Amino acid sequence: MEWRASHILVKDRALAQELVKRCKQGGNFESLAREHSTCPSKSSGGDLGWFGPGKMVAAFESACKGLGVGSISDVVQTQFGYHIIKLTGRR
């Protein structure tokens, strides 16, 4: 199984929670990623491309496994900060 996902990475939990809320209320995920994310992927709207098992940290991969394509996660904490993940593909 492989997944394709985009994410928004921030250092502040409160900001992450606000961004989840905005995304789930119809905000443009890619625009919010470009504006707020601290990850270099922000230049591509947060797109991380395709990845397989073991390529991402466990909490991130676990969140992807539990999402349907097109769904947006709640806040996922890793050692890198707080992620909002949008699953964009599964194969």
| Pairwise CA distance, residues 3 & 17, whole Å | 24
> What is the CATH number that goes with domain 3-90?
3.10.50.40
Give residue 12's pLDDT band: very low, low, confident or very high (50, 70, 90).
very high
pTM of the model: 0.96
Residue entry with tokens 């909002």: 84
3-class secondary-structure state, position 21: helix
pLDDT at 48: 98
Q: Where are the domains of the chain?
A: 3-90
pLDDT value of position 84: 98
Task: Provide the b/e sequence for 24-48 (b: ≥16 CB within 10 Å).
Answer: eeeeebbebbbebbebebbeebbbb
Distance of CA 74 to the CA centre of its chain: 9
